[in-house]
Structure 1
């Protein structure tokens, strides 16, 4: 699995030449400051609460009916009863009805610790986190990246995923269980040749 790629990491602020002073502007934190993430390397907890639901319905009906009727009663030069009851009639009917419904629902909940990998000029934080959980021969990998406005960081240094912009959430597995859910290369080959 490819390593997690940062969105667009900003350059770390230059701390300048060591002056021997205990005060460094680039790393300064007020004594009574709420310790929220705001510098590169800081960590914060992302509460993932994503829920997406979409429903689409369509219905159409077409009904068309036609009728034609004709009769021949008299022709010049012939007796009026020569053709008897000659006539022609035709009917046509066309009916079409179609219905379609499509529904999709996804729910993702959990939490992950993310690291600030960049600070934008407007103060927004670029964050990225990865969590791997291995049980026996199976490994589940959760990756999260996004952009956070520091004003949305709650006390306790946590933020809801719904308050994060440009969110990318990826959950994948490695091992026998993940392999069982995928098609083999030969099955994919025949599926491309015979899509039906």
Structure 2
């Protein structure tokens, strides 16, 4: 108690013994420090109140809402659960060429000679000179040639959905899209198994990285019908024996 009183006396003595200008500066410094302390305490109380309110709101939430649109640049938006969407980049090029050439040839030659000029003048029992004389030639040949060539290029993007998660973490995806271009209808389907590690940070998977990939493109319209053989040609080729 004595020490505190002595300290207070010393402070007051220093202030009283100082010049008026110095005393004014000391008072302003003390007031400024008190203001900063009060402001710091008020900020601490405000932050604590906001933290308590946010904690209560989180605790009262019944359903955990999943936000699919993340504005944070460091968040990972790649598909990893059932129902998640992934973009499939299809770049497929197929080229099939087949040539078949077959030939067969069969030649036969037969000859029989018959001479009847001296048949009635020769003695009975003499058979020389009128033995049969006959010749025949046969020639059969077959040549067949067939060629087939097909070139297809597919380049498009298709959105697929994760339908199942395997035990090893791989994802089964399925996607379907209908496109109508000038009356020509196309149905595009894709399905297969993908590894989450093959999905890019932009949530895109290449078709070449899909295991057991099943990619189908079916068209209906004038162009599709023009590229197919008619029913008469199909029946003719089925019945033609050669």
Matched, 1:63 2:105: yes
Q: Which residue in 2 is equivalent to 1:104?
A: 150
Is 1:128 the counterpart of 2:174? The answer is: yes
Give deviations 1:138-175, integer Å, cap 9, x for gaps.
Answer: 876544322212232234221111211233334567xx
Once residues 138 and 183 of structure 2 are traced to their aligned partners in structure 1, the CA distance between those partners, rounded to angstroms, is 67
Gaps of 5+ in 1: 1-19, 21-26, 184-190
CA distance in 1, matches of 2:203, 2:140: 66
Structure 1 pair 129/86, CA: closer, same or farther in 2 (3 Å)?
A: closer
Which segments of 5 or more consecutive residues in structure 2 lack a partner in the other structure? Answer: 1-58, 60-65, 67-71, 116-121, 226-230, 237-242
Q: Does 1:88 align with 2:130?
A: no
Bigger fraction of residues in helix: 2
More strand by share: 1
1:148 aligns with 2:190: no
Relative distance call for 1:108 and 1:75 in structure 2 (3 A) is farther
> What is the rounded CA distance, in whole Å, between the counterparts of 1:163 and 1:172 in structure 2?
22
State the distance in 1 between where 2:97 and 2:162 align.
37
Aligned to 1:117: 163
TM value normalised by structure 2: 0.49
1:102 and 1:116 mapped to 2: Cα distance? 38
Distance 1:171 1:61, change over 3 A: closer
What do residues 7-64 of structure 1 show as CA deviations (whole Å, max 9, x unaligned)? xxxxxxxxxxxxx6xxxxxx9xxx9775432222332221111222222221111112
Which moved further from structure 2: 70-79 or 86-95? 70-79
- The number of residue pairs the alignment matches comes to 157
- Equivalent residue, structure 1, for 2:125: 77
Structure with the larger RCO, 1 or 2 (CA within 8 Å, 6+ apart): 1
